[in-house]
Structure 1
């Protein structure tokens, strides 16, 4: 173990993005073969969606219902002795797939803000390659996992490489929380990349005080990141309000407020109070705020009433790992965030980042709450994977604390803590996946 970590450290000397690329690719390739097929959370559905992007005939064997049957078996107790033949899954040629023709299809997806499914495109390329090499479920799934892994690792490599600070923090935030999905055909991978590039770009924009300081390239790239968010899962749209808290927007507004006389300021606060009351009345008619607040509290704050997902909401590492590893990794992450880099971020920008994290949490809960008809009991629908990508919202706060209290430590300490904690979680994740899938024969990647 020490030898492996030493090699990683030498390879990544002063280059966190190289460590990220090497460790994520190594982990992902092992995970591709180690994890039982169709056990990475709705993997059958995502494989079907990926296939149909380049299919003319839409063969029956690749329809969601057909793949869901395999998925139900593989996520049950003892799948290898419960009707699932791993050998057949890889070796049986699917005649309808073999006879299928190539056609590009634009798919609609209701879980995406823009309603057009681009998130499955990286894995669709892998399915297409696997289909022409050997048209079996197993081969197509392996290539779908591999191309999604390459897409994730390569994109994040360049995002970290061109970020302007806190690279080891980004390495940790963009690896461990996403371990279950990065080697799967899920469109979550595209969403993770979209939020990462959007978040890092916002941190860059927050260092400009005026809009005219931006280059044409900065503006165009920012538009691309916004478009990527719109083609990601719906909840990622909650990241967009971060743009409203950029100093280039808030500073002119603050100055405009300061320049007003006392009467104008009084009128402003009176107007804000009226608008706030109107907003509360509107939200109460929509949600029933007393019941909404009560169920939110019972779902995520009150341990006596919360469900399984509520209990594990802040398990940033996979829930198949023991709690002490989650505590260990979170402590390491915040140590790195607090001591790696200091910067005097704008206070309103800090408040905006924390507010966006809370907005995403409450907003997703609100969507489930309305879809279930405003229930009068705790909800157990929201899992932590919806919140964990938004951990980047706390990076400016940590760097501001560092700036104020001079917490910066040695680069070597930061590097080694990031490397050891990341590799440790990856190692234990693979170990537990193997143990659960092949030794005790239960769902390997998540708790049922």
Structure 2
């Protein structure tokens, strides 16, 4: 019992210490406007507390990162010292449900504007509040989870996760919504008695957060369909659902075939005006299986799940990404066993796959064909691995099944050492790459020779 209690306590506490250190460093090192589309996020968040007529005029604040200003050191005067025209904007509350995910950073930006109206100060406080939301939400989710705590802590501390947490993106809200939903489901799946009002409130709150996040987050709702019916009492409805699940277990092959059929019908419907099922399927296959056609498959999608940084300018090398995925798999298989329904484990895999498909469809229709007008494109343009990062925790319970076939026993103390070691190495790599890319004249291409010349000059 003592071992279990120590395990439950140490994982979230270690995460809390590391994310606080890593996030704080990133706040100061990561250049302003350097996270993907951060200028756009700045403009949207700014509209929440300001009147810009239709709010469209605040698009002038959606600046791109100016790498040259960081390489020559002029970024301090441009972003921090130089005041903007923010004080001219009228204060007005313009919050809608579509902007709720921007509310934390908007509050921070308003505080920053009141302190000193420069881009740098406003962005810093917006990022700070966003980071605090991320730290608190992820810590709570990890602490309350009944399984996969190590996996949750690893994913939450991936370099790409840290970059987004310390930015003005809505990703921190998105990540927290996914993690809290998963944590709640791990609790509900292990309960043996009917739910109280408190738990129903948790479910409603979690679903609302998923709704307010990206549309693909709603895939997490499938988890709630797999919950044990004992949670909802013994009545005709719950008895019927139990019978349906028993039939599914009995005729599993038929259920799988029906699932595939439903998926194909879904694709046929989505691509009904764009070439039909076969062409739609080919587009998805080209996107995820043909690196010769979708040349960003390895760099943006695969590496991007763990670390493709800035405006996709620099990233972790493939060898490190592979090692990280291996580490993630080992930790999942060595996770403490918890008895949960097999349907929850299977559903987790479906959710991860479904999220990829839903994101791809949105990017194809709205970005590839809509914004870019690439009407003849036979692959999806614009996908990024970070869209899939938080959903990695849904694959963690699969490790419970693999435990029957692969025996990996790692003590909690060794897991702690491995977790800290991998996280620190990944973070240092991320920070060094950031410093080299943004703060050296040539992007760090001749870093060692320049260091040698500097040392010789000192001598």
Per-residue CA deviation, residues 223-268 of structure 1 (Å, 9 max, x unaligned), is 10000011112221222222223343998535357689x9xx9xx9
Q: CA deviation at 1:58?
A: 6.9
Aligned to 2:425: 424
What displacement does 1:325 show?
1.6
1:330-360 alpha-carbon deviations (Å, 9 max, x no partner)? 1112211111311233222222111111111
Change (3 A) 1:412 1:251: farther
Contact 1:21 1:153 (C-alpha < 8 Å) held by counterparts? yes
Where in structure 2 are the equivalents of 1:191-202 lying within 5 Å?
191-202=174-185
Residue number in structure 1 paired with 2:457? none
Cα–Cα, structure 1 residues 291 and 240, in superposed 2: closer, same or farther, change >3 Å?
A: same
Task: Please report how far the alpha carbon of residue 296 of structure 1 lies from its aligned counterpart in structure 2 after TM superposition.
Answer: 1.1
Structure 1, unmatched stretches of 5+, are 1-10, 108-114, 444-448
Instruction: Find the counterpart in structure 1 of residue 83 from structure 2.
Output: 93
CA contact 1:341–1:408 (8 Å) conserved in 2 = no
Shift in alpha-carbon separation, 1:259–1:230, aligned structure 2, 3 A:
closer
- Residues 4-43 of structure 1 mapped to structure 2, 5 A cutoff: 14-43=9-38
How far, CA to CA, are the matches of 2:397 and 2:424 in structure 1? 25
Q: Normalising by structure 1, what TM-score?
A: 0.82
Q: What's the C-alpha RMSD, in Å, of the aligned pairs?
A: 3.4
CA distance in 1, matches of 2:15, 2:101: 22
* Pair 1:255-2:250 in alignment: no
Q: What is the CA-CA distance between 1:397 and the residue it aligns to?
A: 1.0
Structure 2 partner of 1:8: none
CA distance in 1, matches of 2:273, 2:347: 25
Pairs within 5 Å for 1:149-160? 149-160=131-142
Establish whether residue 181 from structure 1 lines up as the match of residue 167 from structure 2: no
Residue in 1 that maps onto 2:414: 413
| SS of residue in 1 equivalent to 2:83 | coil
Contact 2:32/2:120 (8 A) holds in 1: yes
Residue deviations 1:91-111, cap 9 Å, x none? 1223x422444332114xxxx
Pairing 1:312–2:300 present: yes
Distance 1:403 1:65, change over 3 A: same
Q: What does 1:61-140 align with in structure 2 at a 5 Å threshold?
A: 63-68=57-62, 70-71=63-64, 74=66, 78-80=68-70, 85-94=75-84, 96-107=85-96, 116-140=98-122
Distance, in Å, in 1 between the alignment partners of 2:265 and 2:81 is 63
Decide whether the 8 Å contact of 2:47 with 2:58 is kept in 1.
no
Aligned to 1:285, which of 272, 279, 284?
A: 272
Q: How many residues matched?
A: 412
Deviation per CA, 1:268-327, whole angstroms, max 9, x where unpaired?
Answer: 99x969x85976764663551111111111111122211225543122321212112211
Match of 1:238 in 2: 219
- Higher relative contact order structure (alpha carbons within 8 Å, sequence separation ≥ 6): 1
